Amino acid sequence: MALSSMTGFARQAGTLPDGTGYVWELRSVNGRGLDVRLRLPPGLDRLEAPLREATAARFKRGNISATLTLKREDRAPRLTPDPAALEQALALALELAARIPG
């Protein structure tokens, strides 16, 4: 009789096109029924039901834990100066300064 283990671990890391890093960690151990535990970042709760369904379609039993971690780059937004707008703002400031007495 061939035995196959229900115990396993997997880790996959990568980067999305927008620069967000991700790490998926999956763990499974033997269990009588199917127990799926998911840890997802805030805002991705809508993925829980489809992930549970996909897991139940492939596994009949075992304790399965899946964790998704996201790391967003804390980058300052890129500013692109608009010379024409800066000139208009400067001209308006000078005009207003000329109207102020004193």
Q: Residues 13-63: pLDDT tens digits?
A: 999 998 899 999 999 999 889 999 999 999 999 999 999 999 999 988 999
Q: Residue 10: what pLDDT?
A: 95
Residue percentage of the chain with pLDDT more than 90: 62
Answer whether residue 7 is part of any domain: yes
Answer whether residue 68 is part of any domain: yes
For residue 61, what are the domain limits?
1-73
Q: Residue 31: what pLDDT?
A: 87
* Residue 69 neighbours by CB distance under 10 Å: 13
Answer whether residue 80 is part of any domain: no
* Residue 10 neighbours by CB distance under 10 Å: 10
Answer whether residue 101 is part of any domain: no
Computed over every residue of the chain, the mean pLDDT equals 88
Q: Is the pTM of this model over 0.85?
A: no
